[in-house]
Chain A
């Protein structure tokens, strides 16, 4: 009965699959064009069809995008900026996630007078757009003499990210029975011991969510990068923009496409590796004791 029901394609099902197929095409189509164009030569792009596959896959444009394309004044490709982004994103992601985890642990399991007020204020922080933060953040980074450095960007992204990570962790830890913490206190564990031995080991799914969320947010950010990055710490998003906008006569679509894919690759990869945790974690309910 069950197998039959699964096999039968009712009209409703067919419509659903058709729609899903259309949506998938809609999103995959640009990716396809980007990838196929990036492997074509400039001649082929000019003469050929936008939709055709490259006649002779050619990786010159990738090499150029990575190591020799010009971004405004310098002509070293994206590689330097790619590593800038890594040096900014990884520490900021780790820092903001761990701080968010501790915050969430306190706000969920060690309620104190005013903890709900603090939580509400942090929630409001999630709704403050980047643009609002830019001026005060610029002043702060200037005073700390961190303007134009990777460290400054790490600080900006960490501070901005804490609101989100705290929200994620707090809402996850609220579902951890408070009796667990009580039992551990009676067993003799202190604040950090309880975190390390009991709360942290429960947190893998929510850590994954936060890692993905923060990595994507920080990696894809343009505004902080362009404002606080200066020329030395410029992240790959800003460099990509410069690369595309730097024209030396002919627009090298193949190089632009390759550069765009390079800039998007880390987040894409992260989703492929850890995406299942993202989906699972978003729906993760109470922790079963």
Chain B
């Protein structure tokens, strides 16, 4: 069985000067609802660990309650860094395996979670082929420094699943070595554990800008099915 670590930034920019920050909504629903409902339908996920930005716990709890999420939810305050957040959530995990997801990807499906759970491997990430060329550069001099073979590169997506022990070990490794990673699949691999990938979907976009919200709404309301 799995604990879901659900990273929940979820707070957008101020709507205007003097206005309070708002929970990000997609098609009128708080963005975290999509991931919660998709995960709640997966029997193998028996615990949801949801982090909340400081000061937002009450609002987040109210949403979880209103949507009658059946899986037990544990609330953990977000850390100053992603590493800190994941480590705090790991401390609350009771299962031997975890799934990591972020609420900023509202197009995740229950099937995405089930695909990971069904994999025979212990550490697995959804990943996508890269349809464009990425160049290594030196930003300081604006010099192109070489070539990257894109067939051996992947766009890292969430959700991912890990053995809880491997992920804890990898975070201890990062702390010890004082290294920062932007996501956990590469962290766990660099820490010396076997990590595999399965193909993701280009619909599973990360929503960070107002344009992303429009695109996500278009996809969620079947705009691409016409």
Q: Is B truly associated with A?
A: no
Residues of A whose CB lies within 8 Å of any CB of B are none
Residues of B whose CB lies within 8 Å of any CB of A are none
